[in-house]
Amino acid sequence: MPSEHTEVQVRPGVESDLDALTDIYNHYVRETPITFDTVPFAPEERRPWLLSHPEDGPYRLKVAVDGTFQGNSQRILGYATSSPYRAKPAYSTSVEVTIYLAPDAGGRGIGTLLYKALFESLADEDVHRAYAGIAQPNEASTRLHERFGFRYVGTYGEVGRKFGRYWDVAWYEKEL
């Protein structure tokens, strides 16, 4: 593993992370088709999302931070979540997982650290399957999910429109 790993710590997300997490997410809203949101969020708009990921239970938020302090805080490098797959009760043992990294944090193994921590935290939960939707093309995300044992289950063709074109979403599944 690259030496950068030793300086990255993964911990549960907390309310004081909201501004940085919103900034990371908004990068993907503005610049990429990775999320199908099309309008950036204010931090207060994202507060319900953050609060829906407590430190226990099946819906988690893991945050990767730079191990060195800058003033009184650590720089957030990315985050991973497990969220409800669908709202109907029979889906309660399935989660949808995702990772978002700061724009300059890719290629350092941070996604691997985040998913390792997320799946370890879910090990004792009543969760049977994890699902990930990956807007195509996204080879880095596909490789990460396959490394964690996700298998391809199908593609929704041209399911979303952003930046004046249609995008496919490939779906992956992992047994937990």
What one-letter code names the amino acid at 150?
F
pLDDT in tens, 74-97: 899 999 999 999 999 999 999 999
What one-letter code names the amino acid at 141?
S
Which tokens hold the place of 105? 């944090």
Instruction: Grade residue 7 by pLDDT with cuts at 50, 70 and 90.
Output: confident
- The pLDDT of residue 20 is above 80: yes
Residue 101 burial by Cβ neighbours in a 10 Å radius (0-12, 13-18, 19+): buried
Q: What distance separates the 2 farthest-apart alpha carbons in the chain?
A: 47
Residues 21, 129: contact at Cβ < 8 Å?
no
Coil, helix or strand at residue 153: strand
Query: What's this model's pTM, rounded to 2 decimal places?
Result: 0.92
Residue 4 has a pLDDT of: 43
Instruction: Grade residue 70 by pLDDT with cuts at 50, 70 and 90.
Output: low
Average pLDDT, the chain: 94
Residue 5 has a pLDDT of: 43
Strands 129-135 and 94-101: parallel
pLDDT in tens, 26-65: 999 999 999 999 999 999 999 999 999 999 999 999 999 9
Residue 134 has a pLDDT of: 98
pLDDT in tens, 95-146: 999 999 999 999 999 999 999 999 999 999 999 999 999 999 999 999 999 9
Residue 67 has a pLDDT of: 78
